[in-house]
Amino acid sequence: MRPDGTPRPTKDRAAGAFRRRPGKLVALGFAAAIGIGTLLLLLPVSSAGRGATVVEALFTATSAVCVTGLVVVDTATHWSGFGQVVILLLIQVGGFGIMTLASLLGLLISRRMGLRTRLVTASATRSVGLGDVRRVLLAIGIITAVAEGAAAVVLTGRYMVTYGEPLGRATWLGVFHSVSAFNNAGFALYSDGLMGFVTDPWISLTIVAAVVVGGIGFPVILELRRTGWTPRAWSLHTKITMLMTGVLLVGGGAFVTVAEWSNPATLGPLDVRGKLLAGFFQGAMTRTAGFNSVDTAGMNNGTWLGSDVLMFIGGGSGGTAGGIKVTTFAVLLVVIWAELRGDPDAVFFDRRIAPAAQRQALSVALLSVAAVIVPTIVITSTSQFSLDQVLYEVVSAFATVGLSTGITADLADWHQILLVLLMFAGRLGPVALGTALALRDKQRLFRHPESAPIVG
């Protein structure tokens, strides 16, 4: 109702509901998309042979909408052309939706701040800030179309020229894999993933480029488009995202290459150039992309554990990547470093990290750890699979990565349902939780007496 007693228009009521309960409405929207996708995949026309079960359809729809890439049936052979189109559309809806969600929630947070704080934030971030919703949606749409289109052109040309695919088939392969890569989904139209292109730099590096662009986040892309490659003009968020992305890309690739160099099941049979390319590709895919150019099931246990860490960290905020996000991880590192040095403030790039951001980062990280540990214990205790296999699967689901040790389809139905819940929570959880914490931040006119328990 308006102050004068007249009812508010429907649009005003919807906007008010979004401001009051953004997390709930967003979860309902994603759940609705998953429900529609499940029903479509249950149609006989969606399957190439036998029809999908309810669990198979639900799992696939959730994996697509949450841009994860874990599968319980072979995407290339189980689903018909119609079913694959449905999966592609669900990936696009999920990827575009999460970027829009993060950006609009950023607007919501900025509008809940005081005017002075809003102006300072807009000046400091130089990103979404105080912009209007229409401009945000248009910019996201343009960036998505350009990135996916460029990757699709390169992939289509490669499939035609090098692999002899006819124009129609090559175009379909190029479009599907470019959309899947930009949205960090990891779905592939080959039964062995991208193992057939392990030494092909045109396919591998194009996929990596699309994954990185989609994973660094819309606010960063928008700022880079405006400021160019001038680090001095970047906001703190962009500096942290670009630095951590570069470090983890190089470090992750180097780790996988060294760890798997002599493994006969993965990099061992390749020449030096092939090993370097495959190692870099596989390290990049742990940033929540989920494609594989080597057999992840054949990797060493140590590689699985290191990949768990990379998957858990994830990519940039406001993008299609999952995990706790590189900014969260960077804030925690800076806080730990400041504590070790005895510094009163956590400082990064000559900027003091606000105490509220430190608390939010700690909350997101610890709750995410709990979200991984509990299902890992449950599945390990009730299945024949080893701890390292289950942990890899659980982290991959929660961080919406899609890499697997090959046990997904062999899990019990209720284990797969548990992974469905993990994918849903992992896709929306960190964003919704971070937003909820920011929106709950309020001034208190008093402070309790201070005391310090013994730590350690």
Checking if the pLDDT of 128 tops 50, the result is: no
The answer to whether the CB of 346 falls within 8 A of the CB of 334 is yes
The answer to whether the CB of 34 falls within 8 A of the CB of 61 is yes
Return the pLDDT at 120. Answer: 38
374-431 pLDDT, tens digit each: 999 999 999 999 999 999 999 999 999 999 999 999 999 999 999 999 999 888 776 5
Residues linked to residue 352 through DSSP beta bridges, in sequence order: 347
Residues linked to residue 348 through DSSP beta bridges, in sequence order: 351
pLDDT band at 113 (very low <50, low <70, confident <90, very high): very low
* Sign of the CA dihedral with 140 first, then 142, 145, and 149 last: negative
Please name which of 30, 36, 34, 150 lies closest in space to residue 102, comparing C-alpha atoms. 30
Gap between the Cα atoms of 263 and 245, Å rounded: 27
Gap between the Cα atoms of 57 and 276, Å rounded: 37
Checking if the pLDDT of 124 tops 60, the result is: no
The answer to whether the CB of 360 falls within 8 A of the CB of 325 is no
Checking if the pLDDT of 286 tops 80, the result is: yes
pLDDT (average), residues 309-314: 94
What is the secondary structure of 372-423 as a DSSP string?
HHHHHHHHHHTSSS-HHHHHHHHHHHHTT-----S-GGGS-HHHHHHHHHHH
Packing angle between helix 413-440 and helix 387-398, nearest 10 degrees? 50
How far CA 236 is from CA of 5, 353, 359, 373, in Å, comes to 46, 10, 18, 32
Please name which of 87, 135, 104 lies closest in space to residue 22, comparing C-alpha atoms. 104
61-79 pLDDT, tens digit each: 999 999 999 999 999 999 9
Please name which of 45, 90, 46 lies closest in space to residue 66, comparing C-alpha atoms. 90
pLDDT band at 48 (very low <50, low <70, confident <90, very high): very high
Return the pLDDT at 30. Answer: 85
Return the pLDDT at 114. Answer: 44
Gap between the Cα atoms of 202 and 255, Å rounded: 23
pLDDT band at 129 (very low <50, low <70, confident <90, very high): very low
- Residue bearing tokens 């049979």: 269
Return the pLDDT at 401. Answer: 93
pLDDT (average), residues 83-102: 84
Gap between the Cα atoms of 129 and 377, Å rounded: 42
> For 119-123, 169-173, 332-336, which range has the lowest pLDDT when averaged over its residues?
119-123
- Residue bearing tokens 């986040």: 217
By CB neighbour count within 10 A (0-12 exposed, 13-18 middle, 19+ buried), where does 9 fall? Answer: exposed
Return the pLDDT at 446. Answer: 64
pLDDT band at 189 (very low <50, low <70, confident <90, very high): very high
Please name which of 409, 381, 382 lies closest in space to residue 393, comparing C-alpha atoms. 409
Return the pLDDT at 137. Answer: 72
Gap between the Cα atoms of 431 and 270, Å rounded: 40
Return the pLDDT at 140. Answer: 79
Query: Residue 312 CB: number of other CB atoms within 10 A?
Result: 22
Q: What's the pTM? A: 0.85
Return the pLDDT at 153. Answer: 97
Query: 423: which 2 tokens?
Result: 């994918």
Gap between the Cα atoms of 337 and 136, Å rounded: 36
Residue 193's Cα: distance from chain center in Å?
19
By CB neighbour count within 10 A (0-12 exposed, 13-18 middle, 19+ buried), where does 272 fall? Answer: exposed
> For 54-58, 124-128, 136-140, 355-359, which range has the lowest pLDDT when averaged over its residues?
124-128
The one-letter code for the residue type at 377 is I
Return the pLDDT at 132. Answer: 54
More confident call, 11 vs 337: 337
Query: 239: which 2 tokens?
Result: 């500096």
The answer to whether the CB of 61 falls within 8 A of the CB of 52 is no
Checking if the pLDDT of 455 tops 70, the result is: no
Return the pLDDT at 125. Answer: 37
At residue 348, φ and ψ (nearest 5 deg) are -140, 125
- Residue bearing tokens 């039964």: 191
Residue 64's Cα: distance from chain center in Å?
12
204-244 pLDDT, tens digit each: 999 999 999 988 888 888 888 888 888 888 888 889 999 99
Average pLDDT taken over every residue of the chain: 84
Checking if the pLDDT of 335 tops 80, the result is: yes
The answer to whether the CB of 155 falls within 8 A of the CB of 179 is no
* Sign of the CA dihedral with 409 first, then 30, 209, and 202 last: positive
The answer to whether the CB of 93 falls within 8 A of the CB of 453 is no
Checking if the pLDDT of 36 tops 90, the result is: yes
pLDDT (average), residues 428-435: 61
> For 84-93, 123-132, 157-166, 286-295, which range has the lowest pLDDT when averaged over its residues?
123-132
How far CA 442 is from CA of 271, 277, 439, 445, in Å, comes to 58, 49, 8, 10
